[in-house]
Structure 1
Amino acid sequence: MAITESLDCDLVFYTNPMSRGRIVRWMLEEVGSDYRQVLLDYDTQMKADDYLAINPMGKVPALVHRGQVVTECAAICAYLADAFSDAGLAPEPKDRAAYYRWLFFAAGPLEAAVMDRVLQANVSRDQERMVGYGTYEQTVSAIAGAVSANDYVAGDRFSAADVYVGSHLMWGMEFGSIPRRAEFESYVARLIERPALVAAKAIDDALAAQTGQG
């Protein structure tokens, strides 16, 4: 795998080193295909018309592969696992129940519960039925059960779902939005030494330092 400057590269990654793009960077390193990166700043380039034509939300990351646009980290992880199936980052279709379940649980209930907590958006008992996560405590316990049932969230093999779920837990524990439960610590310990994660972190840390964001 290598970052290329070639305009002919059919895999283009739009990101900022201090963003959720770090999740996709890890996934790209796991996939092992050459890609071209386009670094965007928050205040101007993400809101420029040419980028809004790719992602009208004006956010990163985004991926363009052979003319097809994919946004949203969970979707990008799932897409890359299928587009580069030789990397073995998705279970066989018949075995994908847990893979899809926890990948999108992290993208939906987990992220919503964590962000509401960070933003101090209080959900009353009467409102719990209206939100997909119910309560923060229920959500955290559910994901704790998922990552402790097997070595990896979709079974006994690492998959794209672990890139996404693992990233949420690592960041959450680092910044205090997710508790340092034993289940999470054990799970993350199985991920942090993966060469692809080490390589991805080194790239983004260096870019953050270069752009004065580190």
Structure 2
Amino acid sequence: MADEIVFYTNPMSRGRIARWMLEETGVAYRTEILQFGTSMKDDGYKAVNPMGKVPTIIHGKKTITECAAICAYLADAFPQAGLAPSPADRAEYYRWMFFAAGPLESAVSNKALGFEVPAGRERMIGYGSFADVMDALELAVRTNSYIAGEKFSAADVYVGSQIGWGLQFGSIEKRPAFEQYFGRLALRDAYQRAAEKDDKAVGEMQRSA
């Protein structure tokens, strides 16, 4: 099919974000599971994504990488799913999606790796300090029911995924606002379907190892 969606992923990766987003759209897609260090780095896949990482989606002749871009693209490609505000109302949607793609991911990754910004050098790094990021994120999730207002959107898939992982693995502080926000998201049917599919894929990989 000319407009088929092919989803390249590994169930133990950020591909879980794209899977959730795909499930939210309700559209059909074909999944290709890749392995770290082998099929993810072979020449065939690197012709699709030169970074040799997942997730990637191909929609017809379009190739989309990077989780935030995938979420935003799918929301626009399938407007019937209602996953993006109208263009005139996207200020908070863009603000927090790109906050999560930049300051949040950088701060959390650096903390997990044991990197601390030297005192007095906070202006040299995009997120300032881990504490600043956590405070800004808490403000975002407790101001409204969802990250961009009172309606769920693709930005919640992206921001919520990072909060969910952070709470699970201890890389984000267990503040009540974070737990309450992610608790609402985890009740969504699409989130649960996506998690079930990825967990099943993990089990199949482990059995075949």
Q: What band does the TM-score fall into relative to the shorter chain?
A: over 0.9
Q: Distance in 2 between matches of 1:44 and 1:62?
A: 16
Residue pairs, 1:34-73, within 5 angstroms: 34-73=28-67
Contact 2:97/2:159 (<8 A) preserved: yes
Give, in angstroms, the shift of residue 9 of structure 1.
6.1
The runs of 5 or more residues in structure 2 that have no matched partner are: none
Q: Distance in 2 between matches of 1:185 and 1:122?
A: 25
Q: Distance in 2 between matches of 1:9 and 1:95?
A: 29
| Amino acid aligned to 1:51 | Y
SS at match of 1:126: coil
Equivalence for 1:29:
23
Q: Distance in 1 between matches of 2:88 and 2:2?
A: 36
Equivalence for 2:145:
151
Distance 1:12 1:96, change over 3 A: same
Equivalence for 1:138:
132
Equivalence for 1:186:
180
Are residues 1:107 and 2:101 paired? yes
Are residues 1:118 and 2:124 paired? no
| TM-score between both structures, scaled by the size of structure 1 | 0.95
Q: Distance in 2 between matches of 1:66 and 1:125?
A: 49
Deviations 1:152-200 (A, max 9, x none): 0000000000000000000001000001101101111211110000000
SS at match of 1:12: strand
The list of structure 1 runs, each at least 4 consecutive aligned residues, that deviate by more than 3 angstroms after superposition, is none
Contact 1:17/1:208 (<8 A) preserved: yes
Q: Distance in 2 between matches of 1:140 and 1:128?
A: 15
Give, in angstroms, the shift of residue 8 of structure 1.
6.3
Deviations 1:93-118 (A, max 9, x none): 00000000000100100000001001
Equivalence for 2:72:
78
Q: Distance in 2 between matches of 1:57 and 1:18?
A: 17
| Amino acid aligned to 2:188 | R
Equivalence for 1:3:
none
Give, in angstroms, the shift of residue 70 of structure 1.
0.5
Q: Distance in 1 between matches of 2:170 and 2:100?
A: 17
Pairwise CA RMSD: 1.3
| TM-score between both structures, scaled by the size of structure 2 | 0.97
Sequence identity (%)? 56
Deviations 1:41-79 (A, max 9, x none): 002101011110111111000011111110000000000
Contact 1:98/1:154 (<8 A) preserved: yes
Are residues 1:209 and 2:203 paired? yes
Equivalence for 2:11:
17
Q: Distance in 2 between matches of 1:103 and 1:30?
A: 17
Contact 1:78/1:160 (<8 A) preserved: yes
- Count of residues in correspondence between the two structures: 208
